[in-house]
Amino acid sequence: MVLRAPVGGLYRHVVDLTEALGERGHQVGLVMDSLTSDIQTNERLNALDHPPALGVYRTPMPRLFGPGDLTASFVVRRLAKQLDVDVLHGHGAKGGFNARLARIGDRKRVAFYTTHGGVLNYRPGQFLGNVMRWIEARLLPLTDGVIFESAYAQRTFETNIKPVPRLRPVVHNGLDEKEFQTLPESEITYDFAYVGELRAAKGLNYLLDALVGLKRSDGQPVRMIFGGSGPDLHALQQRARELGIHSQLDFVGVRPARQVFAQGGCVVMPSLAESLPYVALEAAAATKPLIATDVGGVKEIFGPTADRLVPAADAEALRKAMQSLLDHPEAALEEAGVRYAFVRDRFSTAKMADEIIATYRAGIAAR
């Protein structure tokens, strides 16, 4: 498995897949960026019952393309030969680039790629996005398959880049059995909860604007907890002061999602772009009311409740949805139950792993 930053949903996916493959007797190694991490990076690996049997390797993988990518690709190539691996699986734009570049001239191994959003989040017409899409198209001949985490990702990739000539399955992210448990209402101390990176693409400025003027049934201002870290923390805190709502918010740093969810009456995900976000899956599995924007593959998680999604970058629509939840909490809980049943049947780690293994085998057979 090759990835850049060992944080967020992409890392969660890689760790879950590593554990599931280990349970099934496969040997896995991880190659990831040495420049990035957070408090949960090592915690997630240390908690595995089946840690990466082939080891964990760190090498610099800068966020932007540059000479460091050639170095990282050589590291991946050397390790692939040294460990005699069968499959190189790149996750995210940089992981996918380095995994497939490492495979040039190597007919022994197969290479797969999962986008996890990445290049798909760039709007058509943006210079950097155009460059990224050009690179993706040139890498397809080195790719034995693209494993899409959502139908949205598959559709967007093939529309904006080009059709994938080989294997192209949609394999949804999955959750472990123990995550499908309702959280106790006794722990709720906030009206709303947010979990994720603190950066502009997550739509947090719109969320702050939406919070202004919201009232609970007792007339008191709402309170909200924010779990996560990111480059815009201080800017968000300053914006909250300007809006006069800073005292209503608590930024608690990086914590497990369910721990933060348990403290909020409703989870809010105001993203401007996503593919298939784990936050939405985890909230649904916890039977938590969830307000989310209609971006990426979120519809695929919401299923029969997809009509409840709100437009992205629309503070007023977000405010109305949040106020409606405060005014009608029973309806929100009923909706959460419907969503739980839909996700419970379709999004499991076991199903995810079995489908990915089948894709690996198909790629090896066609080699």
Q: What is the DSSP letter of 149?
A: S
What pairing do the DSSP bridges indicate for beta strands 190-195 and 55-59? unpaired
Q: How many CB atoms lie within 10 A of CB 153?
A: 25
Backbone angles phi, psi at 253, to 5 degrees: 80, -170
- What the block records as the tokens of 147 is 């494993």
Distance in angstroms (rounded) separating the CA atoms of residues 292 and 327: 18
- Nearest Cα residue to 77 out of 52, 53, 100, 54: 100
Topology of the domain comprising 177-344: Rossmann fold (3.40.50)
% of the chain exceeding 70 in pLDDT: 100
- The pLDDT score that the predictor gives to residue 83 is 97
Asked which of 119-128, 168-177, 232-241, 282-291 is least confident by mean pLDDT, the reply is: 119-128
Residues 242, 360: Cα–Cα separation, whole Å? 52
Question: What is the pLDDT at residue 36?
Answer: 87
Average pLDDT over residues 301-317: 98
CA distance linking residue 244 with residue 165, whole number of Å: 54
Q: Is the dihedral of CA 121, 158, 309, 189 positive or negative?
A: negative
Mean pLDDT over 137-161 rounds to 96
Identify the pLDDT of residue 340: 97
H or E element, residue 202: none
Distance of CA 65 to the CA centre of its chain: 21
Question: What value does the mean pLDDT take over residues 183-204?
Answer: 95
Mean confidence (pLDDT) of the chain: 95
Query: Is residue 350 predicted with pLDDT exceeding 80?
Result: yes
Do 18 and 46 meet the contact criterion of CB atoms below 8 Å apart?
A: no
Measured in whole angstroms, the distance separating CA 76 from the mean position of its chain's CA atoms is: 23
CA distance 320 to 2: 42
Q: How many CA atoms lie within 13 A of 130 on its CB side?
A: 4
- Residue 29 binned pLDDT confidence (cut-offs 50, 70, 90): very high
Read off the pLDDT of each residue in 122-128 and give the average, rounded to a whole number: 81
Cα separation of 34 and 284, whole Å?
A: 33
- Give the CATH architecture of domain 2-174+348-365: 3-Layer(aba) Sandwich (3.40)
Residue 124 has pLDDT above 90, yes or no: no
- Predicted pLDDT at 126: 83
CB-count burial class (<10 Å; 0-12, 13-18, 19+) for 163: exposed
CA–CA separation, 249 vs 226, rounded Å? 7
pLDDT tens sequence across 247-286: 999 999 999 999 999 999 999 999 999 999 999 999 999 9
Range in 54-58, 80-84, 123-127, 138-142 with the lowest mean pLDDT: 123-127
**Which ranges in the chain are annotated with CATH 3.40.50.2000?**
2-174+348-365, 177-344
pLDDT at 120 (0 to 100) = 87
- Residue 30: the pLDDT is 98
**Which strands make up the sheet holding 264-269, listed edge to edge?**
249-253, 224-227, 190-195, 264-269, 290-292
Query: What's the pTM?
Result: 0.93
Instruction: Identify the H or E element spanning 91.
Output: strand 87-91
CA–CA dist 210, 319 (Å, integer):
4
Instruction: Report the pLDDT averaged over residues 196-208.
Output: 96
265, 192 Cβ separation under 8 angstroms: yes
Pair 71, 60: CB distance under 8 Å? yes
Cα–Cα distance, 227 to 269 (Å, whole number): 12
* pLDDT tens figures, 36-88: 888 888 889 999 999 999 999 999 998 777 777 789 999 999 999 999 999 99
The predicted structure's pLDDT at residue 62? 83
CA-CA distance, 35 to 15, in Å (whole number)? 18
Whether 206 has a pLDDT exceeding 80, the answer reads yes
Write down the pLDDT at residue 123: 77
- pLDDT at site 79: 98
**Residue reference for tokens 């709007």:** 123
